[in-house]
Structure 1
Amino acid sequence: MTAATASSPDGTIVVVGSVNVDLLAQVQRHPRPGETLHGTGGQMLPGGKGANQAVAAARLGARVAMVGAVGSDVQAEAALSALREAGVDLGHVAEIEGPTGLAIVTVAEDGENSIVVIAGANDAMDAGRVRAAAEVISAARIVVCQGEIPRDGIEALPALVTGRFLHNPAPVMELDPAVLRASDPLVVNQHEAGLVLAQLVPGQEAPEDPDAVVAALRAAGIPSAVLTLGADGSLVADQAGVRRIPPAPVEAVDTTGSGDAFIGALALGLARGDDLATAARLASRVGAFAATGEGAQPSYPTAADALPPLQEA
C-alpha cells in the first residue's frame, strides 16, 4: 500500500506524542512467568502511539503534523520512515541525544499482543518542547495526544489548543483533572475509563455497564467520550446522547496498533466536520482493517482501500 492520494479534509491534525521503533515477535501463545518460548519475526517496524495515529490519519488523506522526538541512533530513521512515506510534516520532531523509543511487541496466534515500551527520546517531550510547537498546535483543527510522553507535556496542551483536543490517555497516568475535562473527545477502553473516573471523582467505582460508564464520564465533566469495546464496537457520548457504534467483524491477524488506527481515523472524521458518531463509524472500519495485517503502521489502510462493513445492528 502507498500513501493516500485523496484530497485533504479542511483543517490540519496535529499529533503530539511518541515515536518508536517496534521489535515484533510472533509466538504460538504468550509465555508464562519464567518461561522461554521459541518465536519468529524479529522485524524492526515504525511505531509509537503518536506516530501510529499520525500515519493512520495521513494515509487516509488528512494533513497531519507530528510533534515528537527521536534519538540520535540508527533506529531514528526506521521510526520516521512511515511518517515520511505518508507525507506527515516532521518539522516539529526533535532529535535528542540517546536512543529512539522502543516497543517490544509479542503477538500470539490468536492475534492478541503484549507490549513493553521503553520511552527513550519520548521522555524529552516535556512542557517546554510542547510549547515550542505552540504555533502549529494552535492552528490545528484537531490536536491528538496519548499517554506515552511526560505528564507536564500533556498538561501544557489544553492552553495551546484552539480546536478540539482528542485525548487518548493510554497508558493512563495521574493528570490535572482540568486536562482530562478539556478532552473533546476523551477516547478510552473500559479499564482506562475506570482509572480516569477515579481521578475525576475520587472514591467513585466505575460502573460495569458500558452505557453507565460513558454517562459517568459525562457527569464528571467530560464534554464528549468514546468508549472502545473491542469486538463489541464502541459507544459515543456527547450532547446528542449516547449511541452504540457496531464493530466491523474481521479475522484478526495482529491487533497491534488497531486502536491507534481507530483514533487516527476518528481524528480525520472530526477534522473534516463529521459528527462524533459518524467519525466513530469510520474509525471502527479502519481499526478492523488494521487488525488484518501484521504490525501497526504497515497494516493501515489508504483512502483507496476497501474497508470492511460494519456489523448490522
Structure 2
Amino acid sequence: MSTRLPAVTVVGSINLDIIATTDRIPSPGETVGGGALTHQPGGKGANQAVAAARLGASSRMIGAVGNDASGRLMLESLSGAGVDATGVAVLDGDATGTALIMVDRDGENQIVVCPGANFRFSLEGVEFGPDETLLFQLEVGLPVVLEAARRSSGFFVLNAAPAMDLPAELLERCDLVIVNETEYELIPALAEAKLVAVTYGKDGSAMLERGRKVAEAPASAVTVANTIGAGDAFCAALVLALRAGLDYSTALAVANAVGADAVGDPSSQPALAPLADYVARAAGVGVAAR
C-alpha cells in the first residue's frame, strides 16, 4: 500500500439531517412519543467527502447549498472536517437540501430527502484533472453524473444510490460501482458492469467482475448506533484503499472495518481513524484475493 493516499473529489449531495431518535419507528398513522431531536450535517456526497478527509486523504467537495443558515452551517462543517469546500455553489432561491430521518433503538432508519439546492446543481465552471479520482452518487440527479462521466477521464466511481436504471454509457465509464445488496437487485444491468462492490450488512461485502465474485470479506461485529453514514464511510474507504494499491479482498476488509466504526457512531459523519489504522486492523481478514 502506498503511504500517500490519493486525492479524492466527491461530487454529490449536501444536506442538513434532522434526526428523530425513538425506541421504535411508528407504523402508518401512529404517533410515538419520547423522541430526541438532533440536527447534523449530512448528504451522501458530504458524508463521503468528510469520511475521506478523516481517513487522511485530500478531499474536495463539489455540490450546492442554498443561501440560508443551513447552507452556511454545511459549509462550515465541511471546512471544519478538512474538506476543500471552495467548489460548493451557494444558490439563491433554493433551500439547502434536508433529510428527515427517524432512527430506532436498533439503529434502523427511515429517511425522506427534500433535495433543494442539490437538484439545481450544475457543473458549470467545474474542471476535472486527467488523473483525478472521482466519487459520485445519484442524489444530485443523473444528468449531472452523466455530464461528469463525459467530461472527465480519471478514475470514476459511482455509488449507485438511490437505485435507478443506469444508461449503458455511464456503466461503461465507471471503473467501480458501489451498491448494497438491495440496490444490486434493483439494477439488473450491474451484472454486466466491469467492477461492482456489494455490501451485505452483517454478512460483509464482495467484489464482482461482470457478475462473477472475485473477492469477499466478512463484516466486523459491532453494536449499532446509527446506520445512516456507514455506507458512505465504506465508499470513501474502499476507494482510498483500492487507489492506494490494496488488493480487492484487503480493500474490502478495510472498508468493512471503517463501516463498522461508522455504525457505532450516532453521527451521519462519524469520527474515523487514519486509513492506515484500519489496514492494520484488517490484516489477514480478506478472502479470495483478486
**Is TM more than 0.5 here?**
yes
1:241 to partner: Cα distance: 5.6
The answer to whether the 8 A contact 2:16-2:39 is kept is yes
Unmatched runs of 5 consecutive residues or more in structure 2: none
1:306 to partner: Cα distance: 6.1
Distance 2:153 2:248 in 1: 18
Unmatched runs of 5 consecutive residues or more in structure 1: 1-6, 201-215
Find the counterpart in structure 2 of residue 211 from structure 1.
Answer: none
Q: Partner amino acid for 1:275?
A: D
Q: Secondary structure at the match of 1:130?
A: coil
Change (3 A) 1:250 1:305: farther
After TM superposition, list the pairs within 5 Å mapping 1:83-162 onto structure 2. Answer: 83-97=78-92, 98-125=94-121, 129-133=122-126, 135=127, 137-162=128-153
Q: Secondary structure at the match of 2:71?
A: helix
1:131 to partner: Cα distance: 5.0
Distance 1:157 1:304 in 2: 27
Q: TM-score, normalised by structure 1?
A: 0.83
Find the counterpart in structure 2 of residue 266 from structure 1.
Answer: 238
Distance 1:81 1:278 in 2: 34
The answer to whether the 8 A contact 2:101-2:110 is kept is yes
Query: 2:14 matched to 1:23?
Result: no
Find the counterpart in structure 2 of residue 225 from structure 1.
Answer: 196
Change (3 A) 1:106 1:305: farther
CA deviation digits over 1:207-243, x for unaligned, max 9? xxxxxxxxx72xx2x1111011000000112489611
Query: 2:76 matched to 1:81?
Result: yes
Query: 2:181 matched to 1:190?
Result: yes
Find the counterpart in structure 2 of residue 210 from structure 1.
Answer: none
Kindly report the root-mean-square deviation, in angstroms, between the aligned alpha carbons of the 2 structures.
Answer: 2.4
Moved over 6 A (4+): none
Q: Secondary structure at the match of 1:68?
A: strand
Q: TM-score, normalised by structure 2?
A: 0.89
Distance 1:9 1:154 in 2: 28
Change (3 A) 1:142 1:256: same
